[in-house]
Amino acid sequence: MKPFYALIASGAALLIPAAAAQDASQAAPAKPPEEKKVCRRVTPTGSVMSKRICLTAAEWKQLNGEYDRQSAALRENQGRSGATPR
């Protein structure tokens, strides 16, 4: 009789972790979908060859914001070279 109980106990021990793993996989949130890439052709200054650059919409927004900040800084500093106008 003891081998029968041992067999049942070992079978139950194998089933419990499998059930727990199944519950854990159901409880895990679904992975959010990856952001769609947006590709643009960009021609660097001084070049005739364009490059294809693919970034997410958020990355493009961040890059454009950086370009805007640099342009504003250049406009602010225009005429501050220390030279006197003629």
For the purposes of burial, counting CB atoms within 10 Å of the CB of 55, is it exposed (0-12), middle (13-18) or buried (19 or more)? Answer: middle
Length of the chain: 86
> Nearest CA to 39 among 58, 63, 57, 55?
55
Residue 26 has a pLDDT of 61
Residue 62 has a pLDDT of 95
Residue 43 has a pLDDT of 93
Give per-residue pLDDT as tens, 42-70: 998 899 999 999 999 999 999 999 999 99
- At residue 36, what are phi and psi to the nearest 5 degrees? -75, 135
Hey, what are 8's tokens?
């049942």
More confident residue, 7 or 83: 83
